[in-house]
A and B are shown apart, each in its own frame.
Chain A
Amino acid sequence: MITVNDLTKIYNKGKKNEVYALRDVSLRIEDGESVCIMGKSGSGKSTLLHMLGGLDKPDSGQIFFDEQEITALPETPLSVFRRENIGYVFQSYHLIPELTVRANIKLPAFLADKELSDWYFDSLVEQLDLKDRLSHLPSQLSGGQQQRCAIARALINRPKVILCDEPTGNLDSASAETVKKVLFALQKLYRPILVIVTHDADFTVLADRTIRIADGAICEEGCT
């Protein structure tokens, strides 16, 4: 369970161009829940996602992961926490161009020094339809395939949370449809918390809950 209390993030604090990215945001996400965060560009949704994933520090407020406050963690334990609990899917994939699909998927496991079950890896690539692309380089894949590879990589350590930042933003409609389907199918299968930041309204139908953000504050929250 993720609990967010009065989270505030200010960019360029104290300067003329000071911007409130988040204003006293509070929310709660239950285990196994899928949440879709929507809002206009610059509304603060990506900032909220980064805060949830421990990628950035808030100016005030706390984020609890179960009983643990991740906003209070220093850099090293925070990176261990991220490695063990969180999987990321980015809009521009962030695959490592020098590594093959197989190596890219296994990278978080390498970093965590985890023994990887062959069965889990095989089933993951099977479900993501990447079996024939394992020895390819990212540059040899289509956008949809690259994003599926990124999803596999996000799931490889069996994290408790999957954070997706506009996962279909760079994809055509057919590829986006596939990614959506596979993402939710895997969420149903492995039951991590799934938080998706998106402009794509189709996600609201698939997600358990939708949160709308405007000017750094939650303006609407509801179940689908």
Chain B
Amino acid sequence: MRPLFLLWLRLLRAHPKTYLKKAALYLLCSAFIIGEGMLLYSFLCTQKEKRAMLYGEQDFLIAAENEQTLQTIRQTYPNCMAGSLTVLAYGSTTEKLSARRLVIGTADAAARDIQHIRLTAGILPETGAQIAVEESLLSLLYPDADLGQAISLTLFAQDEQTMDKTFTLCGILADTSSNQSQSDTAPLPNALVADSFAKEGNLSPLYRLYALTFAGNTTPTLAEIENLPGVVSVQPNDGATLSAALGLNEGAFVYLSAIAMGAAAVFFIVCIFTTEKKDRSEQIGHLKLGGLTVADLKRYYLWSIFAELLPASLVGAGLGYFAVRWFLERDAAPFAFFFQPAVLLLLWCLSVLPVFLLLYGSCLGEMKASVLQNLLYYNEVAPSTAKKSGYTSNNPVLLYAIKSYQLNGESAGSAAVMVFLSLILFGCGLFCAAAFRQRSAQIMPADYTLVCSSGFYDSTGTIAMDPYYGISDSDVSLLGNHPQVQTIAAIKRLYCFSHEDSNPVPFTAEERKTFGFTQQESLTPRLIMGVNPSFLTRLAALPHEGNLTSEALSTGTAVLYTYDSRSETPTWKAGDTIVLTAVLPENGSWRRQDLTVTVAACLDTASLSENSMDALAIGELMWSSESFSALQMPIDSSFLYLSVKNPDATEELEGLLANLSDWYQNEGKHLDVRQNLQERQQLETLANSLSLLSAIGATALAVFSLFAMALHSNLKVNQRRSLWGFLRAVGLQKGDFRRILLLETLLEVGIPLLLGTGAALGICVLLNRTFFSVDYGSLPFTALMLFDLIYLALAAFAGQLPVHRLYHMPVAVTIREQE
């Protein structure tokens, strides 16, 4: 081994620049892969920690009959860790009327640990008179509360026991209960008391919950847990699903990092491989001539690759590690720094092993060739692959460019792959962002949507009962007058029938009897929508016929007829009379009420923006809500659309909506409050992040690709320098040479650009069909074309870089290199 080592040392000293060039590439490759990997690992750990803080680390949250259930679980699953939570009472404030209630209970240390129940201020309760409450609940019920303050509550405990109790606020808890429990019947405690509280008050638990987490791969299935004796209900941890649904998971980052790492690895490996190939083949030929056997060569290259690769990659690993550490330990770091030696080792192996295997494998391949083949690797008399190419042309530029591309196309592979990937990344990212924006605008023009219903359909299935379970006029008025509300549209609906033959409802004989219809009546379903007067005033600004005023539409005898002239012809015109029959519930049965209404005004909605809040509230027949009062029909509002004045100042309104929601729930109604504003903001943030990440990722890849292209172009010109010299000798001009290189570059880049653009658009169409179903106008065709053109221009420029240098050398010098 010693002679081989000395030989390596001698060659190293003879060509220090070559070694430094290789070492720089190894170093960069290792630094980039380790840096990127450490960033990804830190990001994943940060997200995992955030998720654990929000959603807890419990695999399941179970409600159980008694302690015995927990014993059974522990016996069945020895690797199970369990925390116990006991709910002792519900509490409501005696100072402020609110539907929100406190769920008062205890949590042992294991439960607090598993579910990350933690204090943001103060201490945990130590005596029976102390209480710690979750932050958001506290700010809603006691906006000015401070630690040490007395809190008076009315408690509702087991066996309908009610008592008034005054606690001292000792701690403020982070909001975890609403994120970790989705159960209405057995929610997690949002206020903690000491264990002594139950003993002092002689309270027995309302219910018990256990937070379970299983070590390793021993987590049982949901069904297995549900089937355990004594288990009342099971809630799996939905943290990952919820964060994914909100677009807050790590998917996009992992996706981009993987592409960036892959592209960088391909790029560096191709660079290293291409840089070494020529020199190595010749070197192998010389070493064979010098008397080295294949076994010697194997040992020599094993040593030389390790000796050259290891120091540089270790330095690169350190560089990558410290760069990421510095970046993430700054105050403005986007996420925290996490470190595991095993991860670093794995990343280092990932950066070194492929390079080593590729280089050594390639050496082994070249060792099998004859000495002559090794020495003549790039010599023009060496066996050529030219037979594969039958192309011929009278145009010398085209002839040589195409021949050259056909025969050297593979060397531009890394650049082509990267530009292909960057196009897909760019196109799909932009399309997804545009689709999110379009959906956000299409689906949710209102900031808040309130839907109030009975929560179920009436058994008849044809006559909805929802209007009689809606939001009361006083609540609509309360919301309409709220200082944070900009506009409001409250919709009351009356289901009725017109006497026409088109699309009649196939009532059975029994149903006709129930509702008071004759057997001969042909009844087509219609819906009269009652809206607040301010909404009608806004509609009056649109082109219409007839008298569109809230006064005219408040009598219960006149309706507004709306239609969309783009897709339908109007059924009625202003002045027409329509006879309608409504069916109303009364004293446990049904009352038929006939209405004769006149079409007071006709409105064409074609000019109404589809993305406006008003478009949501448009119905075929409309009048003012006051018409229902005039007809003595006690109908509440089923839908309420709200838009706010300032999206950043909605706390009070949200508090009011939360109170209303709880209130209606207690009343046996179902008020669904959709925070469209927040969702829209989240979607827009997601869209912006996607656009930004895609653009950054695609730009990084494109820059890598251009760099690879420039390197490849330089390399191919240098490798064929004597050929260019000869062609110049026989009359090839600078312009011809530029055209040859331009054509080569265009062919090398044009094909991946074309394929990449096609693939990006194809994937966008596929994504649209599978997930979005939005307008195809959102396809990033222009952006992709622009990307292609810019890339093409830059690649053409990069391809021309070696021309000047080559033409700076006399022809004789370039020819002599081959002589």
Q: Do A and B bind each other?
A: yes
B386 and A97 contacting across the interface, CB-CB below 8 Å? yes
Q: Which residues of chain B are within 8 angstroms of A153 by Cβ–Cβ distance?
A: 730
Asked whether any CB of chain A lies closer than 8 Å to the CB of B723, the reply is yes
B726 and A94 contacting across the interface, CB-CB below 8 Å? yes
A103 and B392 contacting across the interface, CB-CB below 8 Å? yes
Asked whether any CB of chain A lies closer than 8 Å to the CB of B258, the reply is no
Q: How far is the CA of A165 from the CA of B812 in the complex (A)?
A: 12
How distant is A71 from chain B, measured CB to nearest CB, in Å?
12
Q: Mark A71-88, 1 if CB is under 8 A from B, else 0.
A: 000011001101110011
Q: Of residues 73 to 130 in A, which have CB atoms within 8 Å of B's CB atoms?
A: 75-76, 79-80, 82-84, 87-88, 90-100, 103, 107-108, 110-112
A138 and B394 contacting across the interface, CB-CB below 8 Å? no
Q: How far is the CA of A84 from the CA of B811 in the complex (A)?
A: 17
B818 and A57 contacting across the interface, CB-CB below 8 Å? no
Of the candidates A46, A75, A87, A97, the one whose C-beta lies within 8 Å of that of B380 is A97
Q: Which residues of chain A are within 8 angstroms of B535 by Cβ–Cβ distance?
A: none
Known: A55-B729, A57-B810, A79-B733. A96 touches B396 (CB 8 A): no
Q: A97 — nearest CB in chain B belongs to which residue?
A: B384
Q: Which residues of chain B are within 8 angstroms of A108 by Cβ–Cβ distance?
A: 730-731
Q: Which residues of chain B are within 8 angstroms of A80 by Cβ–Cβ distance?
A: 731, 733
Q: Which residues of chain B are within 8 angstroms of A138 by Cβ–Cβ distance?
A: 380-381, 384
B736 and A111 contacting across the interface, CB-CB below 8 Å? yes
Q: Which residues of chain B are within 8 angstroms of A54 by Cβ–Cβ distance?
A: 811
A110 and B807 contacting across the interface, CB-CB below 8 Å? no
Of the candidates B383, B730, B810, B818, the one whose C-beta lies within 8 Å of that of A92 is B818
How distant is B386 from chain A, measured CB to nearest CB, in Å?
4
Of the candidates B384, B392, B731, the one whose C-beta lies within 8 Å of that of A112 is B731
A98 and B734 contacting across the interface, CB-CB below 8 Å? no
Q: Which residues of chain A are within 8 angstroms of B382 by Cβ–Cβ distance?
A: 97, 139
Q: Mark A179-215, 1 if CB is under 8 A from B, else 0.
A: 0000000000000000000000000000000000000
Q: Mark B377-420, 1 if CB is under 8 A from A, else 0.
A: 00011111011010010111001000110010000000000000
**Interface core residue of B382, B404, B726 (most chain A CB under 10 Å):** B726
Q: Which residues of chain B are within 8 angstroms of A112 by Cβ–Cβ distance?
A: 731
Q: Which residues of chain B are within 8 angstroms of A57 by Cβ–Cβ distance?
A: 810
Asked whether any CB of chain A lies closer than 8 Å to the CB of B815, the reply is yes
Asked whether any CB of chain A lies closer than 8 Å to the CB of B819, the reply is yes
B389 and A98 contacting across the interface, CB-CB below 8 Å? yes
Asked whether any CB of chain A lies closer than 8 Å to the CB of B437, the reply is no
B729 and A98 contacting across the interface, CB-CB below 8 Å? no
Q: Which residues of chain A are within 8 angstroms of B399 by Cβ–Cβ distance?
A: 103, 110
B380 and A96 contacting across the interface, CB-CB below 8 Å? yes
Q: B395 — nearest CB in chain A belongs to which residue?
A: A110
Q: Which residues of chain A are within 8 angstroms of B736 by Cβ–Cβ distance?
A: 111
Q: A116 — nearest CB in chain B belongs to which residue?
A: B394
Q: How far is the CA of A184 from the CA of B736 in the complex (A)?
A: 33
A88 and B729 contacting across the interface, CB-CB below 8 Å? yes
Q: How far is the CA of A111 from the CA of B729 in the complex (A)?
A: 11
Q: Which residues of chain A are within 8 angstroms of B395 by Cβ–Cβ distance?
A: 110
A83 and B407 contacting across the interface, CB-CB below 8 Å? no
A111 and B380 contacting across the interface, CB-CB below 8 Å? no
Q: Of residues 6 to 38 in A, which have CB atoms within 8 Å of B's CB atoms?
A: none
Known: A79-B731, A82-B730, A107-B730. A55 touches B387 (CB 8 A): no
B819 and A90 contacting across the interface, CB-CB below 8 Å? yes
A98 and B407 contacting across the interface, CB-CB below 8 Å? yes
B807 and A75 contacting across the interface, CB-CB below 8 Å? yes
Q: How far is the CA of A76 from the CA of B807 in the complex (A)?
A: 11
Asked whether any CB of chain B lies closer than 8 Å to the CB of A134, the reply is no
Q: Which residues of chain B are within 8 angstroms of A90 by Cβ–Cβ distance?
A: 726, 815, 819
Q: B388 — nearest CB in chain A belongs to which residue?
A: A98
Asked whether any CB of chain B lies closer than 8 Å to the CB of A137, the reply is yes
Of the candidates A83, A91, A98, A139, the one whose C-beta lies within 8 Å of that of B404 is A98
Asked whether any CB of chain A lies closer than 8 Å to the CB of B722, the reply is yes
Of the candidates A56, A87, A98, the one whose C-beta lies within 8 Å of that of B811 is A56
Q: Which residues of chain A are within 8 angstroms of B381 by Cβ–Cβ distance?
A: 92-93, 97, 138-139, 146
Asked whether any CB of chain A lies closer than 8 Å to the CB of B493, the reply is no
How distant is B534 from chain A, measured CB to nearest CB, in Å?
80
Q: How far is the CA of A88 from the CA of B727 in the complex (A)?
A: 11
How distant is A148 from chain B, measured CB to nearest CB, in Å?
15
Q: Of residues 609 to 655 in B, which have CB atoms within 8 Å of A's CB atoms?
A: none
Q: How far is the CA of A134 from the CA of B392 in the complex (A)?
A: 14
A137 and B384 contacting across the interface, CB-CB below 8 Å? yes
A82 and B729 contacting across the interface, CB-CB below 8 Å? yes
Q: Which residues of chain A are within 8 angstroms of B407 by Cβ–Cβ distance?
A: 98
**Interface core residue of A97, A98, A165 (most chain B CB under 10 Å):** A98
B811 and A83 contacting across the interface, CB-CB below 8 Å? no
Known: A94-B380, A112-B731. A55 touches B396 (CB 8 A): no
Q: Which residues of chain B are within 8 angstroms of A47 by Cβ–Cβ distance?
A: 812
Q: Which residues of chain B are within 8 angstroms of A99 by Cβ–Cβ distance?
A: 386, 403
B810 and A83 contacting across the interface, CB-CB below 8 Å? no
Asked whether any CB of chain B lies closer than 8 Å to the CB of A53, the reply is yes
Asked whether any CB of chain A lies closer than 8 Å to the CB of B346, the reply is no
A137 and B386 contacting across the interface, CB-CB below 8 Å? yes
Q: B722 — nearest CB in chain A belongs to which residue?
A: A94
Q: How far is the CA of A114 from the CA of B420 in the complex (A)?
A: 41
Of the candidates B394, B731, B815, B818, the one whose C-beta lies within 8 Å of that of A82 is B731
Q: B383 — nearest CB in chain A belongs to which residue?
A: A139
Q: How far is the CA of A107 from the CA of B812 in the complex (A)?
A: 20
Known: A97-B380, A98-B384, A139-B383. A111 touches B812 (CB 8 A): no
Asked whether any CB of chain A lies closer than 8 Å to the CB of B728, the reply is yes
B819 and A111 contacting across the interface, CB-CB below 8 Å? no
Q: Which residues of chain A are within 8 angstroms of B733 by Cβ–Cβ distance?
A: 76, 79-80
Asked whether any CB of chain B lies closer than 8 Å to the CB of A50, the reply is yes
Q: Of residues 655 to 691 in B, which have CB atoms within 8 Å of A's CB atoms?
A: none
Closest 4 CB pairs of A and B: A83-B731, A50-B812, A56-B812, A97-B384
Question: Residues of A with Cβ closer than 8 Å to B?
Answer: 46-47, 50, 53-57, 75-76, 79-80, 82-84, 87-88, 90-100, 103, 107-108, 110-112, 137-139, 146, 153, 165
- Pairs A–B under 8 Å by Cβ, sample size 18: A47-B812, A55-B812, A55-B815, A56-B810, A56-B813, A76-B735, A80-B731, A88-B730, A91-B819, A94-B380, A95-B380, A98-B404, A103-B399, A111-B396, A111-B731, A138-B380, A139-B381, A146-B381
Q: Other than the known A56-B813, A94-B818, A112-B731, what 7 A-B pairs have Cβ atoms closer than 8 Å? A: A56-B810, A56-B811, A83-B731, A97-B380, A97-B384, A108-B730, A111-B731
